[in-house]
Amino acid sequence: MQAIIDADEVLQDRVAKVYKDKTLTNDDRVQRLADLINARSEEVELADLINARSEEVALNELIQSIKQGQSQNRKRNPTRAQRISEMKRQLKDLIERILLSDERASYGDSEENNADKRVWR
């Protein structure tokens, strides 16, 4: 019992107060000391559980952030073949837009020409 008391400063202060109380009998003093030791061990155990839980929460948060970082789709540099394929697609789209705009322009021109011809006739 003395080793337990010597190892804990908080318990040493509480035990000193029990010894200073001259109204207690030896049996009461022993009972109070036992109660103090039990209460202090419960306090320490609870503090250890709280610390362990907070460490567990912190570790879980760290693991979660690592998992999220790994699961995110990272943008990678395209291969040469992928770049060429993308350029071909863009070129094809550009050519189609040019041809489409030329068709619209020539169609519009022919309508305007026909209208002009009708007016002059």
pLDDT in tens, 56-86: 999 999 888 888 777 665 667 889 999 999 9
Say what the pLDDT of residue 65 is. Answer: 84
In this structure, are residues 12 and 20 in contact, taking their beta carbons and an 8 Å threshold?
no
What domain range is 20 assigned to? Answer: 1-72
Percent of the chain residues topping a pLDDT of 90: 24
The count of residues in the chain is 121
Same domain, 68 and 88: no
Number of structural domains in the chain? 2
pLDDT band at residue 101 using 50, 70 and 90 as cut-offs: confident
Same domain, 88 and 117: yes
Give me the mean pLDDT over the 94-113 stretch. 75
Contacts (Cβ under 8 Å, ≥6 apart) of 29: 18, 19, 21
**Mean of the per-residue pLDDT values for the chain?**
82
Same domain, 6 and 61: yes
Q: Is the pTM of this model over 0.75?
A: no
Same domain, 14 and 47: yes
